[in-house]
Structure 1
Amino acid sequence: MALLGGILLLVMMAMTIVDVIGRYAFNSPLRGAGELTELLLVSLIFMGLPAVTLENGHVTVDVLSDHLPKWSERWRLALIGIINTVILALIGWQIWLHASQIGAYGDVTTTLRLPIAPIGYFCALCTFASAAASLMASFLAPSHSSIKG
């Protein structure tokens, strides 16, 4: 996934460079560059979601956890992981339903006429994978960095 993400990032960067040079040097921007950038960016973000979830890399705020007993830390992390799993599964389900509606309408991008629904399904699948990663992470032994000792 990291390699594919890096390739997508390089493609976006190259496309942006070609678009900017074409726009300002030749008064001819790259046709559909904005649409492709949007589609690649949303794909890149959702593709990284399961990896970040599995590594417990999401931003957290420790307001109460420092005041809880140390023995409760593993239970708290497991409960948070289960809650995150449910929320991610619900989000994935809603994205899937929305992609189904987009597909039923036959929505496409404005300039290049690319279908939008496959990107929605991809985002839903990545969110479901993130829910599975959250469930796995909630039952794995927490890393030393996540438990203050």
Structure 2
Amino acid sequence: MYSILHRLARGMAWLGGAMLLILIVMTCVSILGRSLNGMLHGDAVTSIAPGLARWLLDLGIGPIQGDFELVEAGVAVAIFSFLPYCTLTGGHASVDIFTAKLPPRANRILQMCIDTLFAAVLVLIAVQLGAGTLSKMNSGQLSFLLQFPIWWGYAACLPGAWLAAVVGIYLAAMRMAETAAGRAILPPLRGSER
């Protein structure tokens, strides 16, 4: 089961990385277009080559319309895409100053409690995101510039949220099994010395 979840989570993380790459390229193109648009409207270009400036402006040189809306939705999708892999591999920030010297059994119990609580929070987030998606769908709310339905962004985040919830439940169950067995079952978390 771990290997299946690991492949799914890693694939979802790759999709999140692709989303961020697309957003970076789009932002750079938009900034370049905004700069060129300002330059083409400037006194220097309009006095030297007014025909060229008008022709380029008529081609649509300028910022990408609604780039802020696309970045807002895309970053949310990327975050939820990274969440399952981060959860499965223990990539979340942790402070283990106080737990580093605890015996292995105490650390297993503590990790079980943390993963169980985290699973509950991930399930709550996934359920609330689903409810929010339905609410936005029913309201018919549209984005300001692009006029796309707001619920599309929420819905695009759902696969990552649900996979993170499944991963969280799996980890909590495995931590309970580890605590009962008194030994490690899952691979070590990143940076841990179990």
TM-superposed deviation, 1:104: 0.8
TM-superposed deviation, 1:142: 4.7
CA–CA distance in 1 between the matches of 2:19 and 2:137?
24
Structure-1-length-normalised TM-score = 0.87
Q: Which amino acid aligns with 2:26?
A: M
Q: Which has the larger displacement, 56-65 or 139-148?
A: 139-148
Residue 96 of structure 2 corresponds to residue 73 of structure 1: no
Identity of aligned residues (%): 28
TM-superposed deviation, 1:77: 1.2
The aligned length equals 149
Identify the residue that residue 25 of structure 1 maps to in structure 2: 36
TM-superposed deviation, 1:141: 2.1
CA contact (8 A) 1:22 1:30 kept: yes
Residue 122 of structure 2 corresponds to residue 88 of structure 1: yes
Structure-2-length-normalised TM-score = 0.68
Identify the residue that residue 188 of structure 2 maps to in structure 1: 143
CA contact (8 A) 1:93 1:124 kept: no
Identify the residue that residue 106 of structure 1 maps to in structure 2: 140
Q: Which amino acid aligns with 1:87?
A: V
CA–CA distance in 1 between the matches of 2:82 and 2:88?
10
- Cα root mean square deviation, aligned: 2.1
CA–CA distance in 2 between the matches of 1:123 and 1:63?
34
Identify the residue that residue 162 of structure 2 maps to in structure 1: 128
CA–CA distance in 2 between the matches of 1:18 and 1:145?
36
CA–CA distance in 1 between the matches of 2:96 and 2:138?
44
Deviations 1:85-136 (A, max 9, x none): 0111112111211221111111111111111213213323422211211222
Identify the residue that residue 10 of structure 1 maps to in structure 2: 21
Larger Rg: 2
CA–CA distance in 2 between the matches of 1:55 and 1:144?
6
TM-superposed deviation, 1:29: 1.6
Structure 1 portions without partners, runs of 5+: none
Q: Which has the larger displacement, 137-146 or 57-66?
A: 137-146
CA–CA distance in 2 between the matches of 1:143 and 1:72?
16
